[in-house]
Structure 1
Amino acid sequence: MRFKHKMSYVDIEIPDALKLKVLDVIKTVVEKQGRIKKGMNETTKAIERGVAKLVVISADISPAEIVMHLPAIATEKKVPYVFVSTKAELGKAAQINIPCSALAVTLVPKEAEADLKDIVKKVADLRK
């Protein structure tokens, strides 16, 4: 699950175990009637509207300009964000049949709250 080529917008290397946990939380959110916004446009809107709890961005988007703005907007709005290796695995975690460039978790079911808080804390620690 390592990045083959680090894209310019990827500002932090997320450990593989944490990537797997992020993907598991996304699956739980979808299965337990939580809410996610899929795709770059919907993710951008969720961040700007202040409803995003966590933003997940694929690290293999080309051209990079498609998602390059997401980390800056998320930082400005104080929304935690993480990177996963591929858009295919992000789409699979979101239970859609197509690759997904980015998504925002907007409603977290009780079953995923503790794991989401743990992810946010670990990512914040990595950024220090």
Structure 2
Amino acid sequence: MTEGEVNPKAFPLAEATLTQKLLNLVQQASNYQQLRKGANEATKALNRGLAEMIVMAADAEPLEILLHLPLLCEDKNVPYVFVRSKTALGRACGVSRAVVSCAVTADEGSQLKPQITMMHKEIEKLLV
């Protein structure tokens, strides 16, 4: 696979405008401490029922390290989506490293609730 190519297993993949919105939401979630970074943390958040949504990087190498997450998400009825770049995801998470996946977590009385709900709808449109 060359740079810019995306693994076909990375479905649903957000297009540029949705990616921008997702990364903004991830950044806000990071500011509100409603973010779990990394595949392991995302898995734990899902298993504990904390995750509101999962964002994964389509350029993770190998992609198989993430492919247990969509299955878990479907079991738990949590929306998930892929963005093209792990570097951009890492930046949005507020760390200097590349991040292959993150979970936006639930928080009672959070200001992010309306944005998270809106994202759920946008992600559902991708799956149709």
Distance in 2 (alpha carbons) for counterparts of 1:7 and 1:48? 26
Shift of 1:9: 2.8
TM-score by length of 1: 0.89
Contact 2:11-2:81 within 8 A present in 1 as well: no
**2:34 is aligned with what amino acid?**
R
TM-score by length of 2: 0.89
- Per the alignment, residue 18 of structure 1 pairs with 18
Residues 43-86 of structure 1: CA distance to partner in whole angstroms, max 9, x if unpaired? Answer: 11111111100100000011121111111111111111111111
Gaps (5+ residues) in structure 1? none
Gaps (5+ residues) in structure 2? none
- Per the alignment, residue 39 of structure 1 pairs with 38
Shift of 1:12: 2.0
Aligned pairs for 1:53-64 (under 5 A) are: 53-64=52-63
Distance in 1 (alpha carbons) for counterparts of 2:39 and 2:112? 23
Distance in 1 (alpha carbons) for counterparts of 2:63 and 2:115? 29
Q: CA RMSD in A?
A: 1.6
Shift of 1:107: 3.4
Instruction: Decide which moves more: 100-109 or 33-42.
Output: 100-109
Shift of 1:5: 1.9
- Per the alignment, residue 99 of structure 2 pairs with 100
Number of paired residues?
125
Shift of 1:4: 2.1
Partner SS for 1:111: coil
Partner SS for 2:14: coil
